[in-house]
Amino acid sequence: MVFYSFYVICLLFSAVMASANRKFLKSRQINLFLPYLWLVFVQELLVYFYSLHNSENSTAIVYNLYKPITTTFFALVFYRIPCNAPVRRLILWMLIVYLAITVTTFTLIQPIHVYNSYLSLASGLVITCCGILFLFNYFNIDSFPEQQRWAPVIWITIGIVSFYPVVNISFAFYKHLLAYRATIFGLKLYRIIPQLMSIFMYSCFAYAFYLCKKKN
């Protein structure tokens, strides 16, 4: 509960920082973070209170819908950044393939109210690849002022490429962690790992929004 509360606070702080620096986010093509972070914050609160009163009901459908929305969001963010122009087609195709697989899965293979860990892993892979492609293009920029301009996005990318691979590993071993009741200091690993990594990622986002103003 303590870590979850701290996670929600970091998420809220990140959304507030995006709101406070919204005019500086637009020049970096990352102004989409403003509605996205508030959407995620409201979603997390609603899921939490729903789970309190309906603990026997699954919230899988929420996250099955959340994953393609999040994947589309990050793909669009990296697609819009000018220095990513050489890989825009690749980003677009990764997104199209992922969405096509998602729609096919929930239409023909599995009900949408059953959580699909494979699609979650695929979502993390697409988002991580988008981040790595940005880093590759960023470090090939010859102009120092241009590098300074996109430096805040580096922190966003650091948060992303740290969060998704680690969380994907924990998802991959979810059943084993659950079966063996793996804990650290009495905390369940399958819960604490995503929460800790979320705290780190949203802290990186907040710092990136601050840098947008500082380096304007």
Q: Domain range spanning residue 104?
A: 2-214
CA distance linking residue 85 with residue 164, whole number of Å? 24
Segment 78-95 shows an average pLDDT of 92
Mean pLDDT of the chain: 85
Q: How many CB atoms lie within 10 A of CB 112?
A: 14
Tens of pLDDT along 30-75? Answer: 999 999 999 999 998 888 787 777 666 667 788 889 999 999 999 9
- Rounded CA separation 165/125 (Å): 8
Q: What is the enclosing helix (H) or strand (E) of 184?
A: strand 183-184
Q: Is the pLDDT of residue 188 over 70?
A: no
Paired tokens of 154: 């580096």
Neighbouring C-beta atoms of residue 208, cutoff 10 Å: 26
- Domain count for the chain: 1
**Single-letter code of the amino acid located at 141:** I
Retrieve residue 117's tokens.
């860990």
The more confident residue out of 173 and 162 is: 162
